[in-house]
Structure 1
Amino acid sequence: MSDINMSKIDNLNLEFLQLKDYEELKHAMIDSYSNLPDSYWREEQIKTLIDKFPEGQVVLKVNEEIVACALSIVVKYEDFSGQYTYEQVTGNYKFTTHDDDGDVLYGIEVFIKPQYRGMRLGRRLYDYRKELCENLNLRGIAFGGRIPNYHNHASEMTPKEYIEKVRNKEITDSVLNFQLSNDFHVSRVLKNYLDGDKASMEFAVLLEWDNIYYTKPVTKTTALKSTVRLGLIQWQMRPYSGFNELMQQVEYFVDAVAAYRSDFALFPEYFNAPLMAAYNKLSVSDSIRELAKYTEMIRNKFSELSIKYNINIITGSMPEIIDGQLYNVGNLCRRDGTIERYEKIHVTPDEQKVWGLQGGDKIQTFDTDCGKIGILICYDSEFPELSRIMAQEGMQILFVPFLTDTQNAYARVRLCSQARAVENECYVAIAGSVGNLPAVENMDISYAQSAVFTPCDFAFPSNGVKAEATANTEMILVADVDLDLLKELHNYGAVKNLKDRRIDLYEVSKK
């Protein structure tokens, strides 16, 4: 910092710019741009900005003296998707490009008087812009940033190479370094951006900041929820007289979690296995094919319940025969009446050997009224590629219905599910069955402790466990998860697992 005496600063205020401040503003600009002659806004231009968008024009005053300023407009960003100049984005400096219905706050001016630089005043101005962007529900901030040190390196490197060296701390550029440290990212290089900017060789860096709280306007009457309530059913394996008695127990659980205003109900894998008892005289492979005959009826009943109780139901999984082949499948029954199907991709050796199951081939995410979700059945949770593909598609909550017989089998599902929550910056809910089925071959015992897992960062439980049921006890588990916390983690977490991937070295993708 220069020769400012901090003890003589009685007050520092951020204020809206007013037209009566113009002469003082003009002289502050002249002081700030001494290397750019005649670089100050005319009074009629400032008046236009104040008239069009008063909250976008602010100044910082020290002891009632203007020492810094930020001027902004709102634009429809799609109008500036390619190369453009400063003259074009400002509407020939008349600000005709300002649009109250635009989606991006565009910065057209930030300056600080030289003797006040080094006091972090620029950060105050940018913090105000970010807050304004959030309050107006704009999707972000953008501006063309000067690179005034580039002229010293123009003969030996391109602007792109220069930017990369600044980012890697090999070259110092006070302006660009400041923008990057304030969470702005480089989008592209703009050529011939600011006429007469010889220090930047008339190049500019298009810098952007994303508003993680931005909510895209929707035509539906309800917006996506931020806090989502999950209802997990830890199902007791017990004998049932038939389909009706089984579904009576299903409805009891749906009613129970819906009474707590849950948004989702999650059932375990093969929760309907007790119905196989009626076919114990058959071979194991034949009895599960008999069980598959109930799947369509159960799916239809689940859909009725989802509408009746206003809850999205993840139906665990059931056997289903398609073109003579046996699969392990489930359904997402939304409360609006729509149904989607998911498949177990990796069947266990036992499922394949004893029952003759085939692995599915659908890897997908699902849009719901509570955000984008993914569903993996039991063993699938142990293959990180599946959930990574889903995370790349925007998954926020991963549901894992499972069935495990022993404690070590359960530990595999639990530990892998916790890893999926950390590495994909998402919530993971697992639900399984408990108890014994002495009358059903190959389904003798079940062990489970249903739970909701979170990433491990300051906004979440330190051990990554949001809630967990009592082991091996029939019960429901209800837990709230905050989707906004995932957005904050993605942008400001202690580590950023998704952003820090070295996609220059590796990638995970569908075939």
Structure 2
Amino acid sequence: MPSTIQSVELRNLQIQDYKELKKSMIESYPEMEDSFWEEDQIENLLQKFPEGQLVIVVDGVVVGSALSILVTEDFAFKTRTYKGITGNYTFSTHNDDGEVIYGIDVFINPKYRGLRLGRRLYDARKELCDQLNLKSIIFAGRIPNYGKFKDEITPKVYIDKVKKKEIYDPVLSFQLSNDFHEVRVLKNYLEGDKESQEYAVLLEWNNVYYDDSPKLINTTKSVVRLGLIQWQMRSLGNLEALFEQAEFFIDAVSGYGSDFALFPELFTAPLMADYNHLSEAEAIKELARHTEAVKLKFQEFAISYNINIITGSMPFIENGHVYNVGFLCKRDGTNEMYRKIHITPNEIFHWGITGGDVIQTFDTDCGKIGIVICYDVEFPELSRLMADEGMNILFVPFLTDTQNGYTRVKHCAQARAIENECYVAIAGCVGNLPKVNNMDIQYAQAAVFTPSDFAFPSNGIKAEATPNTEMTLIVDVDMNLLKELHQHGSVRTMKDRRKDLYQLKKLK
């Protein structure tokens, strides 16, 4: 796996990708002769079903692909060989009226395995199946490890052992973990597949939303799932221990299909214990030395777990000044920095923090979002400017030591949700750090707030975590409800402003 990755893109295959596609296929199937499709075959496939041909592109290079055709369910179940399902590799079996996607190939270049890119391709296929209003996804999966057991057990026994996790198969284990169920064993399926002894398992994934109206792939989601992390301050031996704890939570919220993971403000503070012999101002500078490594690791997590991560905040040194910053690490591999603009008296007195000077929104695959850090949410101008740019979700990582401090953040966040007709998600740290100066004890209750109208909870609170307890909070927010509110709400705070009397604008 490359040491650094700048971008990851999932898109439809284009014929211009062929040379890189061929190279990755050859590297993916080293044990198989003629393991790649010819260019005219790919061109034919693109003509028949362009939407079904997907690629993963890392830093401009095609490193994986998922190829498919449409067939009828009856044809998929009756056809027993790869030649048969592909029409002797001509794809003449493709049927525009077919109600199922038949997967004919999925691979990830070995150099890029371990980043869950294969899972991303499978998820994209499922999304396509849903959006095209198709019944299911069917394909025959190889069982490449069966060759090691062929003299001991039958394919049926082998499959049962893989299902029970007594045997690991790199293909079948992965497919079963992606909610595919086996239909039958196929004999002599793929000619020349010595690893599988030419056996395959016919697998199916059923689309439970089959009757829904079709959409196009990669459209902005109408329902966005938020994963808020209420982080326990605890002693951590080193940076790796922090990464291990962070990955645990990212794994948890991504496992529930969250689109965003939100960490609190200054959640890296436990690492300052090593610098407690220094002044607070020097200790925060030492903590800032970890910031670049944290950003890179979270960028990797965003790719691996297919989730957008808001890294809370951490100290950052630039031109001799210490800033309180965080990063939006997107699942496409890119990242953007945001800075705390309003600095509390405590931060200035103890740490010498400097305020940022950029007010911005961020475009994501779930729409436009805003991010403000803790104290910033108490200044309504910031989020109003963001709302004017189309922000629908405002994220607020915070750190408060007392309940009255938390109350300020909570109620101001609720006000921002109402006045800007948006969702506001807040997440903070809990617990204590007795060995870190100026970080005594923390109070927090993660929550998601909504506008106050009939389509939303009457108290404007979508969900709240248990106060002062380490946990995650998983919350779905519906973008369509905001659209309805903007046009037909009981009150329309964004539209009804008296711009003839007052206006708000950025100065820079």
Could you tell me the TM-score, scaled by structure 2's length? 0.57
Give 3-state SS (helix, strand or coil) of 2:424's partner: strand
Give 3-state SS (helix, strand or coil) of 2:407's partner: helix
Q: Which of the residues 439, 447, 464 maps onto 2:443? A: 447
Amino acid at match of 1:510: K
Which residue in 1 is equivalent to 2:501?
505
Which residue in 2 is equivalent to 1:305?
301
Amino acid at match of 2:301: L
CA distance in 2, matches of 1:317, 1:436: 18
Which residue in 2 is equivalent to 1:343?
339
CA distance in 2, matches of 1:388, 1:501: 11
Amino acid at match of 1:452: V
Q: Which of the residues 238, 258, 281 maps onto 1:242? A: 238
Give 3-state SS (helix, strand or coil) of 1:477's partner: strand
CA distance in 1, matches of 2:468, 2:450: 22
Moved over 3 A (4+): none
Matched, 1:316 2:307: no
Amino acid at match of 1:491: Q
Unmatched 5+ stretches in structure 2: 1-214
Matched, 1:391 2:382: no
CA distance in 2, matches of 1:458, 1:440: 46
Q: Which of the residues 484, 488, 493 maps onto 1:492? A: 488
Residues 96-154 of structure 1 show CA distances to partners (whole Å, capped at 9, x for unaligned) of xxxxxxxxxxxxxxxxxxxxxxxxxxxxxxxxxxxxxxxxxxxxxxxxxxxxxxxxxxx
Give 3-state SS (helix, strand or coil) of 1:478's partner: strand
Which residue in 1 is equivalent to 2:349?
353
Matches within 5 A, 1:225-240: 225-240=221-236
Matched, 1:410 2:406: yes
Q: How many residue pairs are counted as aligned between the two chains?
A: 293
CA distance in 2, matches of 1:221, 1:477: 28
Matched, 1:467 2:463: yes
Greater Rg by CA: 1
Give 3-state SS (helix, strand or coil) of 1:420's partner: helix
CA distance in 2, matches of 1:325, 1:281: 22
Q: Which of the residues 258, 273, 281 maps onto 2:254? A: 258
CA drift of 1:353 comes to 1.0
Which residue in 2 is equivalent to 1:423?
419
Which residue in 1 is equivalent to 2:328?
332
Residues 397-450 of structure 1 show CA distances to partners (whole Å, capped at 9, x for unaligned) of 000000000000000000000000000000000000000100000000000000
Which residue in 1 is equivalent to 2:360?
364
CA RMSD of aligned residues (A): 0.9
Amino acid at match of 2:401: D
Could you tell me the TM-score, scaled by structure 1's length? 0.57
Matches within 5 A, 1:146-185: none
Residues 165-221 of structure 1 show CA distances to partners (whole Å, capped at 9, x for unaligned) of xxxxxxxxxxxxxxxxxxxxxxxxxxxxxxxxxxxxxxxxxxxxxxxxxxxxx9x94
Amino acid at match of 2:427: A
Amino acid at match of 2:478: D
Matched, 1:382 2:386: no
Give 3-state SS (helix, strand or coil) of 2:299's partner: helix
CA distance in 2, matches of 1:499, 1:356: 40
Matches within 5 A, 1:11-50: none
Which residue in 1 is equivalent to 2:149?
none
Amino acid at match of 2:257: R
Which residue in 1 is equivalent to 2:432?
436
CA distance in 1, matches of 2:504, 2:313: 26
CA distance in 2, matches of 1:384, 1:509: 13
Give 3-state SS (helix, strand or coil) of 2:289's partner: helix
Give 3-state SS (helix, strand or coil) of 1:310's partner: coil
CA distance in 2, matches of 1:387, 1:221: 31
Amino acid at match of 1:486: L
CA drift of 1:332 comes to 0.2
Amino acid at match of 1:423: E
CA distance in 2, matches of 1:346, 1:221: 40
Residues 210-238 of structure 1 show CA distances to partners (whole Å, capped at 9, x for unaligned) of xxxxxxxx9x9401000000000000000
Q: Which of the residues 270, 274, 289 maps onto 2:270? A: 274
Unmatched 5+ stretches in structure 1: 1-217
Give 3-state SS (helix, strand or coil) of 2:475's partner: strand
Give 3-state SS (helix, strand or coil) of 1:230's partner: strand
**Percent identity between the two aligned chains:** 68
